Amino acid sequence: QGLGGLVPGAGHRQGGRHVSALASSAVPRLRPMRDTDLERVIAIELTAYDFPWTLGIFHDCLRYGYTCMVFENDDDLLGYGVLSLGANECHLLNICIAPAFQGCGHGTQLIDGLLDVARTMAARVAFLEVRASNHAAYHVYTKMGFNELGVRKNYYPANHGREDAILLAREL
């Protein structure tokens, strides 16, 4: 719901040729998150994560000046990111692409955009954590130049106890 029912690779016929439903939308863009986005943001968060952030957490991030961005095209909210900035560092706290739009390179585009925002705010290094079990995200991050710094034991809630986080960083 709210994502238009699009499935990566799905499409339709236009003028006798097959056109990807995802390719037919405008180029995705990053913009600041607004309170009016939160209904769609939380809908994505609830479908993407077993242990999602609450609506209150997103409200607090907006209220307390975290950098909160949405990644959208003309038709859909594709994802979002939340980062904190200070002392010439940024910490990517939440990076999410809606499941219906994953596997299309949007995650890389979103992260590139978030890092560009961080650079304009004088950040020189970026940090993030990733679940040890999230191999797809880990691969994206390392492909983008993030390097493993260590492990945060029992960092994330899990279905059976807690799960470790891998701490990654890269220079900007």
3-state secondary structure of 17: strand
Q: Give me the catalytic one of 45, 72, 129, 163.
A: 129
As a whole number of angstroms, the distance between CA 78 and CA 11 comes to 17
The residue annotated as part of the active site, out of 66, 141, 156, 163, is: 141
Distance CA 58, CA 52 (A): 11
Residue 96: Cβ-neighbour burial (10 angstroms; 0-12, 13-18, 19+)? buried
Is 155 annotated as catalytic? no
Cβ-Cβ contacts under 8 Å for 169 (sequence gap 6 or more): 125, 126, 127, 128, 146, 147, 149
Amino acid at 56: G
H helices of the chain, in order, are 38-48, 55-63, 106-120, 135-143
Q: Residues 8, 22: contact at Cβ < 8 Å?
A: yes
Active site annotation includes 39: no
Active site residues: 129, 141
